Amino acid sequence: MEKSFFSEYYNWWKNIDKIIFLLIISLFLLGLFFSLVSTSIIASDKMNTNSYYFFLKHLIFVLLGLFLIIISSIIDKERIINFSLVLFVITFISLLLVPLIGVEVKGSKRWLDIGFLPRFQPIELLKPFVIVSLGVLLNSNYINNKYFRYLFSFILILPIIILLALQPDIGQTILILLVWISLIFISGVSLLILFSSFAVFGSIVSYLIFSLPKFYYIKLRILSFLNPSSGNNYQSERASEAIINGGLFGKGIGEGTLNSKIPEAHTDYIISVISEEFGITVVILIMITFLFLAYQVIKKIDEEEDLKIKLILLGCITLILLQTFIHIGVNIRILPTTGMTLPFLSYGGSSIISTAIISGIILNFTKRKINYK
């Protein structure tokens, strides 16, 4: 058994793409570093807890995430796909429970607090399995007509979009929708159908946001974004000011003020915190790291022959890039304010676990194909 374990580990290490692995680990370690020196102490002071309370929680989730990365990248591809389909059902049920027993925080009901489990955000845990399920469905041998595949894939995400809109969580709604659009586009849908569907869905969402009282605060955020002089952009204004004040090389560790000005600096505004203390130069290097990770994954997608694996890999890296773009876009005020963590770097247990599972899937599906017999 001991020999089998080490043989399995050796084969895993020999086969994984080490550049992708090192980029993933580097980003997680950067998140820990910034949590330790910049965000944890201020966030802990606000909660009247131990100075390193948030850092220690961040560390625990990252260690759990690394364990999940290894597990999800070492098992057989077909097995991880089958597990993902089962976990899709389980995590979708947890999302269904949010309107019934979810915890409301700052006007949004997005979390579950169940028994001995730590509070978690179901959509974060659901995202990796949505991608795998869409990849399987869009390459299904049981559905010969590709247009039926597109239809069924939309039916798959429609209840998720509705549940997210009811929370409300427009950021995650848009993220899931854009990932779906990218997957059906790559799988061969015509541009006419794609743009028509997007226009219809966009019109429906716009109507709901601007007509229903439930979405009033989202309407206010959009109007405030379009009219910056309205005075309703406090958080995004402070974030963009922090980026400007940080300049090229930052104010120095612990010298930033954004942490103390807005409540979610360690999650939704982490890139502004980093920019203020370490400078835009470091932010650019982080963005280059994300882009280099995407480049490495896209190279593997180009080499892959199995369309199902191509779609799943594309969905994973698209989600990471889109989430990164939305996070940075909100921080530099080119997008309306919405709560969106930065993959790998932001504090947040659900987000870290979700990113770790996605990373494990990427590592699994980009492994070298070697026959050891």
* pLDDT band at 163; cut points 50, 70, 90: very high
Q: Is 290 domain-assigned?
A: yes
- Checking if the pLDDT of 369 tops 60, the result is yes
- Checking if the pLDDT of 35 tops 80, the result is yes
Q: What share of the chain is helix, strand, coil (3-state, %, to 5)?
A: 75, 0, 25
**Whole-angstrom distance, CA of residue 259 vs CA of residue 53:** 15
Q: Which of 307, 324, 320, 328 is nearest to 358 (CA)?
A: 320
* pLDDT band at 64; cut points 50, 70, 90: very high
Cα distances (Å, whole numbers) of residue 137 to 143, 166, 179, 329: 8, 26, 14, 32
What is the tally of structural domains in the chain?
A: 1
Per-residue pLDDT, averaged over 178-192, amounts to 86
- Checking if the pLDDT of 23 tops 80, the result is yes
pLDDT reported for residue 334? 81
Q: Is 371 domain-assigned?
A: no
Amino acid present at 219: K
Identify which has the larger pLDDT, 359 or 201.
359
Identify which has the larger pLDDT, 248 or 368.
248
pLDDT reported for residue 289? 97
CA contacts within 13 A on the Cβ side of 187: 32
Phi–psi pair at 62, nearest 5 degrees = -65, -40
* pLDDT band at 198; cut points 50, 70, 90: confident
**Whole-angstrom distance, CA of residue 45 vs CA of residue 321:** 32
**Whole-angstrom distance, CA of residue 154 vs CA of residue 136:** 13
Amino acid present at 191: L
Identify which has the larger pLDDT, 103 or 235.
103
Q: Is 214 domain-assigned?
A: yes
343 close to 324: Cβ distance less than 8 angstroms: yes
pLDDT reported for residue 96? 94
pLDDT reported for residue 95? 94
Mean pLDDT is highest, among 207-221, 223-237, 336-350, for 336-350
Per-residue pLDDT, averaged over 113-126, amounts to 87
Q: Is 147 domain-assigned?
A: yes
Lowest-confidence segment of 84-98, 163-177, 220-234 by average pLDDT: 220-234
Identify which has the larger pLDDT, 216 or 277.
277
Q: Is 307 domain-assigned?
A: yes
Most distant CA atoms of the chain, gap in Å = 68
- Checking if the pLDDT of 189 tops 90, the result is no
- Checking if the pLDDT of 372 tops 80, the result is no
pLDDT reported for residue 216? 67
pLDDT reported for residue 14? 87
* pLDDT band at 27; cut points 50, 70, 90: very high
pLDDT reported for residue 371? 47
* Average pLDDT for the chain: 85
pLDDT reported for residue 50? 65
Lowest-confidence segment of 141-150, 210-219, 325-334 by average pLDDT: 210-219
Amino acid present at 201: F
Q: Is 169 domain-assigned?
A: yes
pLDDT reported for residue 1? 46
Q: Is 370 domain-assigned?
A: no
Considering the chain, what percentage of its residues have pLDDT values greater than 70? Answer: 87
- The string of pLDDT tens digits covering residues 249-285 is 888 887 777 766 776 777 888 999 999 999 999 999 9
Q: Is 372 domain-assigned?
A: no
Amino acid present at 352: I
- Checking if the pLDDT of 290 tops 70, the result is yes
Per-residue pLDDT, averaged over 239-255, amounts to 85
Q: Which of 248, 289, 271 is nearest to 329 (CA)?
A: 271
* pLDDT band at 294; cut points 50, 70, 90: very high
* pLDDT band at 373; cut points 50, 70, 90: very low
- Host domain of residue 154: 2-365
Lowest-confidence segment of 71-75, 81-85, 144-148, 273-277 by average pLDDT: 144-148
Instruction: Name residue, tokens 């191509």.
Output: 310
